[in-house]
Structure 1
């Protein structure tokens, strides 16, 4: 489960993305335009230390872009080139925002969703000891559920930043579709999503175990 905070971010996530996205090789849209949030989903970090959120956004009148992010309370060693930016969280303080594809907490979470049907995290707010669940803004579905436990993945040993972005570990290759579109994935081990304005499933990711 993902605990959320009723907090202010300066700069906001969308402001960070408006500056960062045009420099990506897979960017499509209007450079300099505002970034619109279409939907989002989260995965759980087993330690509860790192926020893992994927935003589906659009820059200007461009196509849908998928942007997985991680939020950390301290810099991630060796990940300077994958830093999206820093933001001040009114509850948690300074947060370091990274492209999640290079963060070691993300590949196991994505593989668990794709290969083991782990699904997305339930999001909730807590006030005075009362837990209030926030309805999801989108529905994420794994394409194959054939394992009892999530697969062993390991940290990324190589990330190829393109569309798709390829995350290569010792046990699986994960492909994150940056400009998701309807269609058949190249493998049954895939993740797809819908939301109210997007009733036709979009393929988000797929996996190839070694």
Structure 2
């Protein structure tokens, strides 16, 4: 289990509906799934919804009490309980990237919410590692859907590419093609576990 995300009964300005519409073209926000920063400093959330064409889309975000990197900042938010928060593209935040990679490699699932509200998608990584110690994450290339860099995996320096696609495409369960990454984060509606979608893709190499 990825842990428990602490959720506040707070007023937000702008709201998550506003953020989802502005940065992901989401017209119907369904909710989110979350990962947890072990140090409790960074909120990691992926908003899930549908666009004007009815397609499932996602928007990965982090929330911090101070700005990490202006290149990846999307906006500032007023949180009635926590005060000013900086909202960033999660792929430009090493804490979020670390947790995406760990969740995928360890075959972990998403965080539970302290308020008991279920995630919009149940998620699980496809990896089989019992535990992976990921440190010294360095990002060398970042876009809204991709993070490229290197990190130490159990003390060994390796390169990685993490993709968190905007569109939630179906997982190809019939075979591996040229567009299928070695490891995935898959997500599904709790009521429809057979309809799995690719939430993230990970490649790690020497």
TM bucket normalised to smaller:
0.7 to 0.9
- Secondary structure of the 2:131 match is coil
Q: Distance in 2 between matches of 1:202 and 1:182?
A: 4
Equivalent position of 2:98 in the other structure: 108
Q: Distance in 2 between matches of 1:135 and 1:56?
A: 13
Ranges in structure 1 where 5+ consecutive residues have no aligned partner:
22-28, 126-132
Q: Deviations over 1:135-160 (max 9, x none)?
A: 33321011122242344461322114
Give the C-alpha shift of residue 112 in structure 1.
0.7
CA contact (8 A) 2:20 2:47 kept: no
Q: TM-score normalised to the size of structure 1?
A: 0.80
Equivalent position of 1:86 in the other structure: 76
- Secondary structure of the 1:81 match is coil
- Secondary structure of the 1:67 match is strand
* Cα-Cα RMSD: 2.1
Answering whether residue 206 of structure 2 is matched by residue 206 of structure 1, we say: no
Equivalent position of 1:13 in the other structure: 16
Q: Distance in 1 between matches of 2:32 and 2:184?
A: 18
Give the C-alpha shift of residue 70 in structure 1.
0.3
42, 49, 58: which one aligns with 1:57: 49
Ranges in structure 2 where 5+ consecutive residues have no aligned partner:
151-157
Give the C-alpha shift of residue 80 in structure 1.
2.1
Q: Distance in 2 between matches of 1:137 and 1:166?
A: 22
Q: Distance in 2 between matches of 1:122 and 1:50?
A: 16
181, 184, 190: which one aligns with 1:190: 184
Give the C-alpha shift of residue 183 in structure 1.
2.8
- Secondary structure of the 1:18 match is helix
Answering whether residue 148 of structure 2 is matched by residue 168 of structure 1, we say: yes
CA contact (8 A) 2:105 2:132 kept: no
- Secondary structure of the 1:144 match is coil
44, 51, 59: which one aligns with 1:67: 59
